[in-house]
A and B are shown apart, each in its own frame.
Chain A
Amino acid sequence: MKNKLFEKYFIFSPYFWLVLFFFIPLAIIFKISISVSEWGMPPYQDIFLFDNGFKINTTYENYVYIFSDYYYIGSFVNSLILALISTFFCLLIGFPLAFFIATSNIRLRNMLLVLVVIPFWSSFLLRVYAWKIILQNNGILNLILLNLGITSEPLQLLYNQYAVIMGIVYTYLPLMILPLYGYLNKFDLNLIEASKDLGLNRIKTFFKVILPLSVPGIVAGSLLVFIPVVGEFIIPEMLGGSDRLYYGKILWEEFFVNRNWPGASALAFSGIIILVLPIVIFQILYSRWSQKNEI
């Protein structure tokens, strides 16, 4: 009986986690986002007032404020585009790598997997900072280019959106490779041989057999890269320039520079809803589709 009770509650532990670390913080953010801002600490008024009887003190002004200024929407769009491009490149580089790892012999495979994971052993900040050293005007890359005579003066490689994309692709690549590998690892290689045997060359085999059967791995890896990149703050801050503003940076500024907590919360909450809602809908449709197609 005691065991039964344990089992009953044990299966709820993921939900407990989700509530504690996602829904409660989200509710707090939502609460702040509908509060009236003021100078002070914290920089917003309570939403329930008891001074002269009970009064609810909320406002939707913060939402009006962020949605009426293209500064905020634009930064979010920039971040979405950045996330899309980064995810695309992660997929482009990650898929062949994951496929190669999944199909190589066990010794080489384990070594390659360790190589994929090794960057995680050093600090994220250090790794991004290392790119700064490589890309800066008197950095290693420019030095090589100058010495080889490819350019006559140092190239401006740092502080632009390309450096940001490169940094993100570099940092997030393992998050693409690992779920893809996990999926491709189970891939029946006989299917590729069967396709070739039936007359399809390598390219056609890729598009008719490998790609359709890899969709679940591609979806998992892409979501794992796409979602956090939208809110990415450190990489654009360190490698990016003033040519483009991103959502994470704006959030930071609203919270810590402008001390506009209600506005920043409204921005954060809107971002999460805009991002999560389509993904939830997509997940539902996708799981129906994959059930129907038995993938």
Chain B
Amino acid sequence: MDNNFLVIENISKSFGDNKVLENINLNISKSEFFGLLGSSGSGKTTLLRILGGFEKPDTGRVILDGTDITNLEPFNRPLNYMFQSYALFPHLNVFNNLAFGIKENFTQKEIEINVRNIAELLSIEHLLNRRIKQLSGGEQQRVALGRCLIKKPKLLLLDEPLAALDKKLRSKTQLELTTLQKKLKVTFVFVTHDQEEAMSLSDRMAIMKNGLILECSSPEEIYENPKSLYTANFIGIANIIEIYKKDENFYSDDLDINFKLNKELQNTKTNILLRPEKIKIQSINNLKTSSFNSFSGEILEKSYLGSFTRYEIKIKNMIISVLDQNFNSNSNYNFPKGEKVICSWESESIKVLED
């Protein structure tokens, strides 16, 4: 696969004294669905706008399919941008919104055919004569998508593509968007602040913070093996425990237990990540506390989530989150509040964080 379809090279950008992007480097492959994830102010939207041509970077280059597009105007770039607000033209109907970008270079008949095809692809044929204000949020999103895809762009940029939709519609649209992207094989780069959205859509994703890319990898890799404390906290629920070397093992003051790691460590003091679903929770009667990788604690809170139950377990000075799959159909399987339990985990589940 062509790994250099979209190359972002040393991009920096400041607004006044405010450094928004610092030396961003990214390589995105052809037909990849790539996510930029970050909280507000992380610079993700600015990066997307630089790709779209709406902002000029202070330094660096953007190369798309072998061509340097850094200094091209938006109307000369072979890519399209889907706005968070959709930015549909209120004075035109759906047909003319879809046809907006192809009116110049096509005959009336070709326009007609192209619009029908794209409308069919997105199942919006019945809306062509409607005004924009007569559309629901989901319909508007499809028109915005269609208006871009009709131009057959090499690259589609999406700014928070699902943020304006309600929750139920969002998960449905998520699936449709991935299916569509795999079908059309267009390269998608999107921006989101929603980690679930990033995880479910992306082939690969980059975590951004304060204008820097912290990590860039597949969602699985980022969830299971985050490198930084920030990423570990940002993606999913994280139990972060500070440990330090004590004799041959690692010890946590907060939990007052020893950890056994399955790899050697450089530092004498570090943070580790323990995902809540990796922790096994058992009744105190069943097992004796082992001296490694387990502790006994008291259930402080519990919330039943259907397929899972989430427990907050208090041990010494810390509260550890545990997600327990509701494997048994017997409702008594759940542990009541206040119950003493034993939590344990495999040593492979302990992930050492770099900072």
Residue numbers of A with Cβ under 8 A of B are 188, 190-191, 193-201, 204, 208-209, 212-213, 293-295
Contact = CB atoms under 8 A, between A and B. Distances in A.
B101 interface: yes
Contacts of A209: 89
Given A293-B91, A295-B90, A193 B104 contact: no
Contact of B74 (A188, A197, A293): A197
B333 interface: no
B91 A295 contact: yes
Contacts of B132: 294
Contacts of B74: 193, 196-197
A294 B80 contact: no
B327 interface: no
Nearest to A201: B75
B35 interface: no
A191 B131 CA distance: 16
Nearest to B49: A193
A284 to B, nearest CB: 20
Contacts of B88: 194
A190 B83 contact: yes
A194 B81 contact: yes
B122 to A, nearest CB: 17
A197 B85 CA distance: 15
Given A200-B104, A213-B90, 16 more contacts: A188-B87, A190-B83, A190-B85, A191-B89, A193-B52, A193-B87, A196-B73, A197-B81, A198-B80, A198-B151, A199-B101, A201-B73, A201-B75, A212-B91, A295-B90, A295-B91
Contacts of B100: 195, 198, 200, 208
B209 interface: no
B78 to A, nearest CB: 10
Contact of B87 (A191, A212, A294): A191
9 contacts: A188-B87, A195-B100, A198-B101, A198-B147, A198-B148, A198-B151, A199-B104, A199-B151, A294-B90
B83 A199 contact: no
A136 to B, nearest CB: 47
A204 B104 CA distance: 10
Interface residues of B, number: 25
Nearest to B133: A294
Contacts of A188: 85, 87
Interface in B44-61: 52-54
Most buried by B among A199, A213, A293, A295: A199
A193 B87 CA distance: 9
A206 to B, nearest CB: 13
Interface of B: 52-54, 73-75, 77, 80-81, 83, 85, 87-91, 100-101, 104, 131-133, 147-148, 151
A195 B92 CA distance: 13
Contacts of A197: 52-53, 74-75, 77, 80-81, 148
Contact of A199 (B75, B85, B89, B133): B75
Lowest 3 A-B CB distances belong to which pairs? A198-B101, A190-B87, A194-B87
A188 to B, nearest CB: 7
Most buried by B among A193, A204, A213: A193
Contacts of A190: 83, 85, 87
B208 to A, nearest CB: 22
A271 B21 CA distance: 63
A213 B100 CA distance: 15
A199 B148 CA distance: 11
Contacts of A295: 90-91
A198 B77 CA distance: 9
Contacts of B148: 197-198
A200 B81 contact: no
B87 A200 contact: no
Most buried by A among B54, B83, B87, B132: B87
A209 B80 CA distance: 18
Contacts of A208: 100
Nearest to B99: A198
Nearest to B134: A294
A29 B133 CA distance: 47
Most buried by B among A190, A200, A212: A190
Contacts of A204: 104
B133 to A, nearest CB: 5
A194 B90 contact: no
A259 B88 CA distance: 61
Contact of A193 (B77, B83, B131, B151): B83
Contacts of B81: 193-194, 197
A263 B111 CA distance: 62
Nearest to B101: A198
A197 B54 CA distance: 9
A18 to B, nearest CB: 32
Contacts of A196: 53, 73-75
Contacts of B87: 188, 190-191, 193-194
A201 B77 CA distance: 12
Contact of B91 (A193, A194, A198, A213): A213
